[in-house]
Amino acid sequence: MATVYPFRGLRARPDLADRIASVPYDVVNRAEARALAKDNELSFLHVTKPEIDLADDVDEHDDRVYEQGKKRFFEMITKGQLVQDDKPCFYIYALTMNGQTQTGVVLGASVAEYDKNIVRKHEHTRPDKENDRVHHIRTTTAQTGTVFLVHRRSEAIGAVVKATTGKKPAVDLTASDQIRHQLWVIDDAAYIKKIAEGFAALGPIYIADGHHRSAAASRVAAAMRKPGTAADAPFEMFLAVSFPEDEVRILPYNRVVKDLAGKTAWEFLAEVKKRFDVTDGKPSVTQAKQFALYLDGKWYTVKVRAGSYDAKDPVKRLDVSLVQDQLLAPLLNITDPRRDQRIDFVGGIRGDAELERRVREGCAVAISMHPTSSSDLFAIADAEQVMPPKSTWFEPKLRDGMVVHRI
């Protein structure tokens, strides 16, 4: 069972939400964040990416950065730009992109169950990124970034979501990227109970995106916990929004490589054909165990051969693993994609046109992947294994500042 908690959310004032809500702190660099927040003193990036308000020679992990974020955060509270709900609530968050809507429940997820792997993981975390979030949470005394969870379909939760979204939302905004963000508040005791019971009946829930935020919340809770601490103490939960598996949109995480390890394009393609079934042109449909290769101005469809991998291993059978194990490592000598500077990763939202552009502008080859599925994510997390780096690209992105959790 998964235990979830309502909480007293700190929310952007509805009439200011379109100015406050910002892209997640970890999808933009300092210069990009500064440009997005330019001429908008209310942008939540001033809280989540506070280095934008300091000189460039101030390191982004300097104590002054976190103190700057705290200063802006409490200014927004004092000025009534962020307002805390009077009682614990759940929230419904809907995102609509290109006519497709996914609707999730904003909740407090249990740190204890994260530690016990009831809230399941599928990625390793980096200490430096964890440390950054720990420092930010401790300094602001708030969780400002939302963990993206996925849960199995639940009729009970779905019924509450449907009833709630039939009403007028508290916030309804369309961001500059044309993605619509809507938020409803659930403060009705009966509905709160139904949601909690619905999650309790589901079994585990899964982290899709936000491993560093959840790991940081666990570390903060461990440092703050004392004997007798209540399970629903604010620091014993972390801010999350959980979406049903059949609504989550996972896009591929594509690859581009800068050189062919000394081979000509013809030599490289000849080696690819020894290991895979290759035909000219893009695939007519995208499917598992198949990818597209853009090389020397041409597209090729590349199919993985049956029997060339362990179909029972949830990690080894992933398309990203097959590309890594059968192409990148043996043919291009890329054995550590996390650190090898010859490879780069391109989110699927940018499409194949971006891959073609990267090759035209200097890369040697691009690989258009088939996306990882929710069932793959579940299988790997259930097996307590770890996905290869850059396996999933979730779109659309949540906005920071829609709901904040104070600890």
pLDDT digits (tens, 9 = 90+) for 52-75: 999 999 999 999 999 999 999 999
Distances (CA, A) of 345 to 257, 339, 393: 9, 12, 10
Q: Distance between CA 103 and CA 153 in Å, rounded?
A: 12
Position 1 scores a pLDDT of 82
> What is the pTM assigned to this prediction?
0.90
Position 268 scores a pLDDT of 98
Write the pLDDT tens digit of every residue in 10-26: 999 999 999 999 999 99
Amino acid identity for residue 77 in this structure: I
- Are 61 and 55 in contact by the 8 Å Cβ rule? The answer is no
Q: Which residues pair with 400 in a beta bridge?
A: 22
Give residue for tokens 């779905």.
Answer: 158
Tokens of 269: 């393609």
Enumerate residue ranges in the chain where pLDDT < 50: none
Residue (of 165, 186, 13) closest to 87 by Cα position: 186
Position 208 scores a pLDDT of 94
Position 284 scores a pLDDT of 86
Write the pLDDT tens digit of every residue in 258-297: 999 999 999 999 999 999 999 999 998 889 999 999 999 9
- Are 26 and 48 in contact by the 8 Å Cβ rule? The answer is no
Left if phi > 0, otherwise alpha if psi is -120 to 50, otherwise beta: which for 47? alpha
Position 38 scores a pLDDT of 94
Position 286 scores a pLDDT of 87
The domain limits of the chain are 4-249+395-406, 253-370
Name which CATH class applies to 253-370.
alpha beta
226-245 as b/e: b if 16+ CB within 10 A: eeeeeeeebbbbbbbbbbbb
